[in-house]
Amino acid sequence: MNFFRQEVDSAIDVLIAQQVILYPTDTVWGLGCDAEVPRAVEKLYKLKGRAEGTPSIVLVADLEMLRRYAAEVPAELEAALAAQTRPTTYILPASRAVAPGLVAPDGTVGLRVPQDEFCHKLVRRLGHGLVSTSANKTGQPTPAIFKEVDPAIVRGVDYVVSWRQDDETRTAPSRIVRLGAGGALEVVRD
């Protein structure tokens, strides 16, 4: 079995057990768990020191999975997903499928279809959305590369993905697009 597949399999085993992983996302190093399991989300937030009701992004495999977690999906979203050239998070009204701790006070959730092969494979294999929040204590710097992750975070997760730990490539945070009035998509952060 190759290293990539072994890392995906190991991470999936931990996610299915409703635990928290530390993994490379399509933007920064992140903490993740099954987006449908409130207990796992609570554990992740406790490790991060994040207050409940502070939303986190949910990675989804495709438009079909995105529709599972969004109560409203604008017609132009399919074309926007097909045209995106960098990680883009869409802020949409949340459905009941997403764990309540991931929903913002205004009833929205951030959803992103990752283009990164590892993240995409994780989400596809899990079959549920995957929480994606930066792997840092709240208020501390975001770790762009593995060696910047606080050792307390590394010790606090249930599994640390080995894939890309030596990669020092830095990427920009995701673009953020919100569903606006009348169903139009509006860029919040470019």
What CATH number corresponds to the domain at position 96? 3.90.870.10
Q: pLDDT digit string (tens) for 28-61?
A: 999 999 999 999 999 999 999 998 778 899 999 9
The verdict on residue 106 lying in a domain is yes
The verdict on residue 168 lying in a domain is no
The verdict on residue 169 lying in a domain is no
Higher pLDDT, 181 or 152: 152
For residues 135 and 115, what is the distance between their CA atoms, to the nearest angstrom?
19
> Is a pLDDT exceeding 90 seen at residue 96?
yes
Question: Which DSSP symbol is given to 70?
Answer: B
Q: pLDDT digit string (tens) for 57-92?
A: 999 999 999 999 999 998 889 889 999 989 999 999
Domain span at residue 61 reads: 3-163+175-189
The verdict on residue 64 lying in a domain is yes
For residues 81 and 88, what is the distance between their CA atoms, to the nearest angstrom?
8
H/E segment holding residue 175: strand 175-179
What is residue 62's predicted lDDT score, i.e. its pLDDT? 96
> Is a pLDDT exceeding 70 seen at residue 1?
no
Task: List the single range of 73-77, 94-98, 101-105 with lowest mean pLDDT.
Answer: 73-77
Q: pLDDT digit string (tens) for 138-159?
A: 999 999 999 999 999 999 999 9
Q: Total structural domains in the chain?
A: 1
**Torsion angle, alpha carbons of 153, 23, 57, 152, to 10:** 0
The verdict on residue 182 lying in a domain is yes
The verdict on residue 76 lying in a domain is yes
The verdict on residue 170 lying in a domain is no
